């Protein structure tokens, strides 16, 4: 990874300021410590796909569920969604 980091630094000096490549390199170099943290501990996942997959259905349905018609209904819907998602995380079929 040190070679990749050094290569990115060298490439940054060669690309035009403000280009898409320079912005991508700047983004990665600025966050290098966080991006390479998974190398320090094997238990740290390389990505957050698991967390994103857990909320994907709720994010996709947000527009469809926009109107709960009342605060009470909204709270009830949130409780039910939370219960269903918690059940899905358990080994049994909800």
Q: What is the pLDDT of residues 6-52, one digit of tens each?
A: 999 999 999 999 999 999 999 999 999 988 888 898 888 888 898 88
Number of domains in the chain: 2
Is residue 66 in a domain? yes
* pLDDT reported for residue 21: 95
Check whether 70 has a pLDDT greater than 80: no
Q: Which long-range contacts (CB under 8 A, 24 or more apart) does 85-93 make?
A: 85/54, 85/58, 89/54
Residues 53, 78, single domain; the answer is yes
Q: Is the pLDDT of residue 92 over 60?
A: yes
Higher pLDDT, residue 56 or 29:
29
Asked if 16 contacts 22 with a C-beta cutoff of 8 angstroms, the reply is yes
Q: φ and ψ at 89, to 5 degrees?
A: -75, -15
Asked if residue 53 and residue 30 are part of one domain, the reply reads: no
- Cα distance between residue 9 and residue 29, in whole Å: 8
The pLDDT of residue 66 is 66
Q: What residues make up the domain containing 68?
A: 49-89
């Amino acid at each position: 990874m040190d070679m990749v980091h050094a290569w990115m630094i060298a490439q940054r000096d060669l690309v035009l300021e403000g280009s898409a490549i320079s912005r991508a390199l700047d983004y990665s170099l600025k966050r290098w410590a966080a991006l390479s943290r998974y190398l320090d501990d094997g238990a740290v996942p390389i990505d957050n796909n698991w967390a994103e997959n857990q909320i994907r259905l709720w994010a996709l349905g947000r527009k469809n569920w926009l109107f709960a018609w009342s605060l009470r209904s909204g709270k009830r819907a949130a409780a039910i969604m939370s219960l269903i998602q918690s059940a899905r995380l358990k080994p049994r079929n909800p």
